Amino acid sequence: MAAYSRKANLMIFLIGKPQALLYNGSMKILIISNLYPPAVLGGYEILCGQVVQFLQQRGHQVTVVTSDHGDAEAQQGVLRTLKLFVPFGQPAGMHRMKRLRAARYNYRETARVIREAGFDAVFVWSLLRLTPSPLRAASDAGVPAVCTFNDENISGYLPSPFSPAPKSLLRWAADRLMPQITLRGIDFPCTTCISRLIKENLVNRGLPIASSRVIYQGIPLERFPVKSSPGVIGTPVKLLYAGQLHPYKGVHTILSALELLKQDSLLPPFELTIAGQGPQEYTDRLRDQAAAGDLPAKLAGSAAHHQMPEVYRAHDIFIFPSIWQEPFGLTHLEAMASGIPVVSTAHGGQGEFLIDGENCLTFPAEDAEALAGQLKRLMTDPGLSVSLAAEGRRTAEQSFSFTRYAEELEDLLAEAAGYSGEIVN
């Protein structure tokens, strides 16, 4: 097997091990993802593109095989040949026969790509709506596979448990007659999760990944320069929410908090920008709520990813009111890197780096009164706002750079592929 390196002999410390490996050479890597830029649903697909670019810059040969979703133009090294069993934008449902057809096709296509090109390692980014068959094809071909779990969607491919209820019984029987659409028989020898929360939840759901490494995601700090006066609150106070617009994101909680703040005549004026989009029903609900309360809130729609650094720096406070357990918190880190204080719920993966009163302020999900209280603190305590912004930037710089994240993924791929050299203690 060829040796691996980062253009020259380089010492790489493996996570959790007091040793390092010297590598010499490069890897040939196949990336499997349901979507790939410019076809994106959110930040995870963009992150995948950034990881691919990083690996290529390291000298690795990277091929991406992804779905034909969207109208993306041809790109060198990107094969848009896999099939989603149901297009994004439509409810996934169970669709056992559609899943079976997609599974058979995606297995053959992935096997063909592996057979024709040959790879040192396969890196599975997301199988959502692809079925597990690309991973099964890599396993059957004997190519080492690394899976990264950015959310809990992989658990949807676990075989249905037995239940005597008629519909449940049918699902149980179908999953045993069509194992191609489930994770039955697939091992996960090498995986990573983006947070302890995701790992614990997947293990509790029955995924055999107790040895999975937690590799926290990171952001390209150079893309999010700190604003000129980090933490300084202007007049009017410019509040920001950026993300998808769904009820479980809790954006309505912000509007309820602003109604409470509006009753305090001693507070400075404020205005809210809601950057994102989602189902029309919820968007209309937010617009109606803002109008009913005569609130200074603007639904600005989605900003392009390259515009977000400027959006962050143009605001004073970033608010993230999510109700559900977020897998992680890339937007938090982007805001923190940009030098604006963060006010957020903390019961998801973001709670693994948010420290109330040190690098952020937190509040319980759907507690508008608590959110209003935290916003009032920032509006009336300039020292607190400045200190939170400074510590937030420090958090992003010291622990959550994109380079650190991508290097740890690179190390894991090399280890899975069996590349080794002289062991250095």
For 132-141, give one letter per residue: b (16+ CB within 10 A) or e: bbbbbbbbeb
Q: CATH homologous superfamily for 10-218+402-424? A: Glycogen Phosphorylase B; (3.40.50.2000)
pTM: 0.86
Percentage above 70 pLDDT, the chain: 93
Tens of pLDDT along 251-270? 999 999 999 999 999 999 99
* Residue 340: both structure tokens together: 């604006």
Identify any residues that bridge with 75 across adjacent strands, giving them in sequence order. Answer: 78
Please enumerate, as own/partner, the contacts of 95-103 that have beta carbons within 8 Å and a separation of 24 or more: 96/171, 96/174, 96/178, 96/181, 99/131, 99/178, 99/181, 100/178, 100/180, 100/181, 102/129, 102/130, 102/131, 102/133, 103/131, 103/132, 103/133, 103/178, 103/180, 103/181
* Identity at 167, one-letter amino acid code: K
Tens of pLDDT along 384-400? 999 999 999 999 999 99
Q: Which residue has the tokens 């963009």?
A: 46
User: How much is the average pLDDT of 204-222?
Assistant: 94
> Higher model confidence: residue 96 or residue 382?
382
* Identity at 190, one-letter amino acid code: C
Q: Examine domains 10-218+402-424 and 221-399 and report if their fold is the same.
A: yes
Tens of pLDDT along 295-329? 999 999 999 888 999 999 999 999 999 999 999 99
What pLDDT shows up at residue 259? 97
Mean pLDDT of the chain: 89
Cα 112 from Cα 104, distance rounded (Å)? 12
For the chain, the structural domain boundaries read 10-218+402-424, 221-399
Tens of pLDDT along 185-203? 888 989 999 999 999 999 9
* Identity at 134, one-letter amino acid code: P
CATH number given to 221-399: 3.40.50.2000
Tens of pLDDT along 72-109? 778 899 999 999 999 987 887 778 889 999 999 999 99
User: How much is the average pLDDT of 55-72?
Assistant: 91
> Higher model confidence: residue 273 or residue 75?
273
* Identity at 176, one-letter amino acid code: R
* Residue 299: both structure tokens together: 């639904």
Q: pLDDT grade, residue 19 (50/70/90)?
A: very low
Among 156-160, 207-211, 410-414, the range scoring the smallest mean pLDDT is: 156-160
